[in-house]
Amino acid sequence: MSQPPYIRPEFERELPPLRNVPVETPLPLSQRVWNQAWLRKSLIVLLVLALWEVAARVQQNDLMLPGVLQTWHAFSDDMRNGELPAKIINSLSTLLKGYLIGSLLALLASALAVTTQFGRDLLSTLTAMLNPLPAIALLPLALLWFGLGNVSLIFVLVHSVMWPIALNTWSGFSGVPETLRMAGRNYGLSGPRYVVTILIPASLPAILAGLKIGWAFAWRTLIAAELVFGASSGEGGLGWYIFQNRNELFTDRVFAGLVTVIAIGLLVEGVVFASLEKVTIKRWGMHR
C-alpha cells in the first residue's frame, strides 16, 4: 500500500522590525573625491605635462623639444598679441561649417538607407568606395575645382566627416530592437517621423560615438589641409600657424599650436559631448 505524499507544514514567522540600522553607508571622503571624473582626468594631464618637462630637461635642446614653461610663454605671448586667437577663429569657423554639413549629409544618407532598399545599396557602396580614401588626397582636386578659398577646405572636411558618422549612424539604426520598430509601425509612423521618433533616440549612443569620431577626423583633416592650403594662399588657421613657425624654427610656438588643438579637443569632449550625453543617453539609462 503506497504511502500518502508528504505535505510540508506551513507556518508564518514574524520577524522583528529593524530599527536604527543605516540603510546607506556614506563613502569616505577620499573615495568621493576620487569618483570625480574631472579630477582623475586632470591628474592624467598633469602627469603627461610632468613627463614632458622631464624629457625636455633631459634633452636640453630647446630647438628639438622645448619645455612646458617655454611653450606656455610662447602661447601667452601669441594670445596677447592676437595672432593665436585669429588663427583659432579661422580654423574653428571653417571646421564647424564642414562638420555641420557632413553630419547633416550623413544623417540624411542613413535615414534614406533605413527606409529604402536603394538607400541601403547606395550607402554601403559609397562607404566602401570613399571611406578608405584619405580626405587630404582630395585637396589637389578641391583646389583645382574650387580655387584657393575656404570652399576647398570645407569640401575635404565634409568628405572626412560624412562617412564615419554615416557608418556609426547606420550601425545604430540597424541595432534598434524589433520591438521598438513594431511599436512605431503600430502608431502609424513612417518616413521622417519614424526616423526622428523611434530610430534616432534608440540609436543615440552610436550616433554620438560617430559624432566624436567625425570631430576627431575633421581636426586631423583641417590641420593637414591648412599645412598645404596656408602655404598656397598665404593665410590659414592653426595648421598654417604650426607650419609657419616650423619654417622659422620657433619650436616653442609649434608646440603652442599643437597644445591649442589638444586643448580645444579636450574642451569640446569634456563640455559639449559630455553635456549632451548627460542630458540624453545617461539620463535615459542607455549608458553607464
Measuring CA to CA, which residue among 112, 141, 136 is closest to residue 222?
A: 136
Q: What is the pTM of this model?
A: 0.78
Extract the C-alpha cell encoding 184: 512605431
Cβ 74 vs Cβ 253: under 8 Å:
yes
Chain length of the chain? 288
Extract the C-alpha cell encoding 10: 506551513
Cβ 85 vs Cβ 132: under 8 Å:
no
pLDDT tens for the chain, 288 residues: list them: 567 777 777 778 888 877 776 767 777 777 777 777 778 888 888 899 899 888 888 888 877 888 888 888 888 888 888 888 888 888 888 888 989 999 999 988 888 887 788 888 888 888 888 888 888 888 888 888 887 778 888 889 999 898 888 888 888 888 777 787 787 777 777 777 777 777 888 888 888 888 888 888 888 888 888 877 665 555 678 888 888 888 888 888 889 888 888 888 888 887 888 777 777 766 666 666
Q: Which residues of 211-236 are buried (b: 16+ CB within 10 A; e: fewer)?
A: bbbbbbbbbebbbbbbbbbbeebeeb
Full set of structural domains in the chain with CATH:
62-284 (1.10.3720.10)
pLDDT in tens, 83-113: 888 888 888 888 889 899 999 999 888 888 8
Measuring CA to CA, which residue among 240, 229, 225 is closest to residue 87?
A: 240
* 3-state class (DSSP) for residue 2: coil
Place of cell 602655404: 231
What gap in Å lies between CA 260 and CA 268, rounded to an integer? 12
What gap in Å lies between CA 5 and CA 213, rounded to an integer? 67
What gap in Å lies between CA 89 and CA 168, rounded to an integer? 29
